[in-house]
Chains A and B, each alone.
Chain A
Amino acid sequence: MTLLRVENLSKHFGNLIAVDGVSMTVEPGELRAVIGPNGAGKTTFFNMISGFLTQTSGKIVFDNKDISNLLPARRVWRGIARTFQITEVFPELSVRENLRVAVEVAAGLRLSPWLSAARDRGIRARIDELLGMGGLAAKADRLVGEMSHGDQRACEIMMALALKPRLLLLDEPTAGMGDQETYDITQLIRRLHRDEKLTIVLIEHDMRVVFHLADRILVLAEGKMLAEGTPKEIAANEAVQAAYLGKVAA
């Protein structure tokens, strides 16, 4: 059964066609990478799937239901969580407080004026679990805005994870990071995919990361689908080499 089916999705910004008739299907448990040169329309593609932008045309079907016109929060309730190319966290709150918001919302407590002691214990336990999984336990009480880029990104991913999503969208999770941080985040994503059986779609610039992690790869260029296939097929694809990999090697 397909989890996500994107049909012929397009986005126009005035005269600019940022995404031009892109289709994609994602199966449960899959880790899909979306690659392409800068300005290819990858982020715009994510923005439409998550409801941040409304598509000009096309359709998004999630779990057999058309979600093309749902507000972002409603798509989250259906099980789609995302991170952003530029990390979006609550900078003046600690890591623990950041996660607490996500965990409480996931527990259906967003309107609750009250939290019982028993409920609070459950929330705390879940926060600790997420802190451990994200390698953030030692930094739990630091303000997120004062942490390294890599730690902020890990915090953002754990917040998305706190929602127990059925589909996780990651926009360039290793952008702007050093080797060690890139490695740590890659390992984290790999664990989520392997151990938590999470379905993930990620946009990524770093080819080592992509070929290391992805089950299948979608290549975009100038808003259009250039190729789609396994990492092996993509590596051997001449059009991709010309449009993208060639540029990276050069």
Chain B
Amino acid sequence: MGSNDLQKQAPNIVVWVLLLALPLWLPYVGGYMELGSRVVVLALAAMALNFLLGYTGVLSFGHAAYFGLGAYGAGMTIRYLVPSTGVGLLVGTLVGAVAGAIIGPMIIRLRGVYFAMVTIAFAQVFYFIAFRWNSVTGGDDGLTGWTRLPIHLGFTTIDILHNPVAFYFLVLAVFAVAVGVMAWLLRSPFGRTLIAIRENERRARFLGIPVDQHIWISWTISCAVVSVAGALYALLNNFVDPRALYWTQSGDFVIMAVLGGMRSFWGPLIGAAIFVVLQDYLSSQTENWMSFVGLFFVLVVMFFPRGILGIIRRKVAS
């Protein structure tokens, strides 16, 4: 590996070492394991959103729909159908991905703020269904009466229910696969067509790229990954409620991506970490914690349009 390759790989190495060693260092900075899992789960959601926002140039303000579908899909599967964490994860992911794939063709022709608005509208539809359909979803009280279950591997059993470190590593393993797939795609010819669309849709079209089709694929991948995150989120909380589908949840994903830096692959992870830690700390100090997060967000966007990671990158470069 040349020094150039090493420089390119350095951020990846740092991120993976920090994530893998999290159970070792987190207690020393006052964190606890559930908080770590929460950061990784929400980071996955923000990175999924950013596949679309940062790398295709399409802003969705309704990703909570697929996050929530993943969460309900996982929770309801375990509650009603199959008492298995793995099956719940799988079904949750499929539900969100299929919903995204079906809704996609109805919205991919829209651009900019129109696209964002229609994604919100669809998300609100799912929100009201979850809210109203009491008998199945538990309505406003949420879906209770189930928990994630230990994973049986034949030769051994991993108790992800009672062992937070074991659960963290399950989350991290799923995160690694999903993030790996996205990184792989972004470095492929297909991924380059997405970046081309972000850079200049007209040029992309007149190179013979059927732009709407490529946006649909990107959208569907993004929805699939965000529903993986949603399913993990349900497992993390042993609970789902309609707030997972609410538009403010979509907004949180956008904030995380923009805060961390949507032009960098790991930016949304940084954004999610800051968001979750601020939320955890501030919400114990004040009712108005969201105002502080909002203020912080506005300051970053005003002074550092490329996000937190954008600042760090510039420091390293200079």
Q: Which of A73, A91, A111, A160 contacts B199 (CB 8 A)?
A: A91
Asked whether, in the complex, the Cβ of A72 is within 8 Å of the Cβ of B205, the reply is: yes
Residue A104 at the chain B interface, CB threshold 8 Å? yes
Interface size on B, residues (CB 8 A): 24
Question: Knowing A101-B207, A102-B207, A105-B207 touch, does A90 contact B193 (C-beta < 8 A)?
Answer: no
Asked whether, in the complex, the Cβ of B199 is within 8 Å of the Cβ of A104, the reply is: no
Complex CA distance for A102 and B206, rounded to whole angstroms: 10
CB distance from B202 to the nearest CB of A (A): 5
Residue B26 at the chain A interface, CB threshold 8 Å? no
Set of chain B residues within 8 Å of A112, measured between Cβ atoms: 188-190
Complex CA distance for A159 and B188, rounded to whole angstroms: 19
Kindly supply a per-residue 1/0 record for chain B positions 187-217, scoring 1 wherever the CB is within 8 Å of any chain A CB and 0 otherwise.
Answer: 0111111011001101111111111001001
Asked whether, in the complex, the Cβ of B208 is within 8 Å of the Cβ of A93, the reply is: no
Question: Knowing A84-B202, A101-B192, A111-B190 touch, does A73 contact B185 (C-beta < 8 A)?
Answer: no
CB distance from A92 to the nearest CB of B (A): 6
Asked whether, in the complex, the Cβ of A110 is within 8 Å of the Cβ of B199, the reply is: no
Residues 198-252 of B at the A interface (beta carbon under 8 Å): 199-200, 202-211, 214, 217
Residue B184 at the chain A interface, CB threshold 8 Å? yes
Set of chain A residues within 8 Å of B189, measured between Cβ atoms: 104-105, 109-113, 115
Complex CA distance for A213 and B127, rounded to whole angstroms: 63
Q: Which of A71, A90, A109, A114 contacts B210 (CB 8 A)?
A: A71
Residues 76-124 of A at the B interface (beta carbon under 8 Å): 76-77, 81-82, 84, 88-93, 97, 100-102, 104-106, 109-115
Complex CA distance for A12 and B26, rounded to whole angstroms: 67
Residue A163 at the chain B interface, CB threshold 8 Å? yes
Residue A43 at the chain B interface, CB threshold 8 Å? no
Set of chain A residues within 8 Å of B188, measured between Cβ atoms: 112-115
Set of chain B residues within 8 Å of A110, measured between Cβ atoms: 189-190, 193, 208-209, 214
Residue A50 at the chain B interface, CB threshold 8 Å? yes
Set of chain A residues within 8 Å of B202, measured between Cβ atoms: 84, 88
Kindly supply a per-residue 1/0 record for chain A positions 6-18, scoring 1 wherever the CB is within 8 Å of any chain B CB and 0 otherwise.
Answer: 0000000000000
Asked whether, in the complex, the Cβ of A73 is within 8 Å of the Cβ of B209, the reply is: yes
Residues 153-201 of A at the B interface (beta carbon under 8 Å): 156, 159-160, 163
Set of chain B residues within 8 Å of A159, measured between Cβ atoms: 203, 207
Q: Which of B184, B191, B199, B208 contacts A92 (CB 8 A)?
A: B199
CB-CB nearest in chain B for A100: B192
Set of chain B residues within 8 Å of A77, measured between Cβ atoms: 208
Complex CA distance for A89 and B196, rounded to whole angstroms: 9
Kindly supply a per-residue 1/0 record for chain B positions 4-30, scoring 1 wherever the CB is within 8 Å of any chain A CB and 0 otherwise.
Answer: 000000000000000000000000000
Complex CA distance for A79 and B267, rounded to whole angstroms: 40
Set of chain B residues within 8 Å of A81, measured between Cβ atoms: 206
Complex CA distance for A81 and B207, rounded to whole angstroms: 7
Question: Knowing A104-B189, A113-B190, A115-B189 touch, does A93 contact B195 (C-beta < 8 A)?
Answer: yes
Give the one of A81, A88, A114 with max B CB within 10 A: A88
Complex CA distance for A115 and B202, rounded to whole angstroms: 25
Set of chain B residues within 8 Å of A104, measured between Cβ atoms: 189, 192-193
CB-CB nearest in chain B for A97: B192
CB-CB nearest in chain A for B208: A76
CB distance from A99 to the nearest CB of B (A): 10
Set of chain B residues within 8 Å of A160, measured between Cβ atoms: 206
Kindly supply a per-residue 1/0 record for chain A positions 59-77, scoring 1 wherever the CB is within 8 Å of any chain B CB and 0 otherwise.
Answer: 0000000000001110011
Complex CA distance for A127 and B199, rounded to whole angstroms: 20
CB-CB nearest in chain A for B203: A88
Question: Knowing A73-B210, A112-B188 touch, does A91 contact B200 (C-beta < 8 A)?
Answer: yes
Kindly supply a per-residue 1/0 record for chain B positions 54-88, scoring 1 wherever the CB is within 8 Å of any chain A CB and 0 otherwise.
Answer: 00000000000000000000000000000000000
Asked whether, in the complex, the Cβ of B190 is within 8 Å of the Cβ of A73, the reply is: no
Complex CA distance for A43 and B190, rounded to whole angstroms: 31
Complex CA distance for A79 and B149, rounded to whole angstroms: 57
CB-CB nearest in chain B for A112: B189
Complex CA distance for A114 and B189, rounded to whole angstroms: 7
Asked whether, in the complex, the Cβ of A105 is within 8 Å of the Cβ of B209, the reply is: yes
CB-CB nearest in chain B for A82: B206
CB distance from A102 to the nearest CB of B (A): 5
Complex CA distance for A204 and B184, rounded to whole angstroms: 44
Asked whether, in the complex, the Cβ of B203 is within 8 Å of the Cβ of A89, the reply is: yes
Complex CA distance for A160 and B211, rounded to whole angstroms: 17
Interchain Cβ contacts under 8 Å between A and B, 6 examples: A73-B208, A76-B208, A109-B190, A112-B190, A115-B189, A163-B208
The 3 closest A-B pairs by CB, nearest first: A76-B208, A90-B199, A109-B189
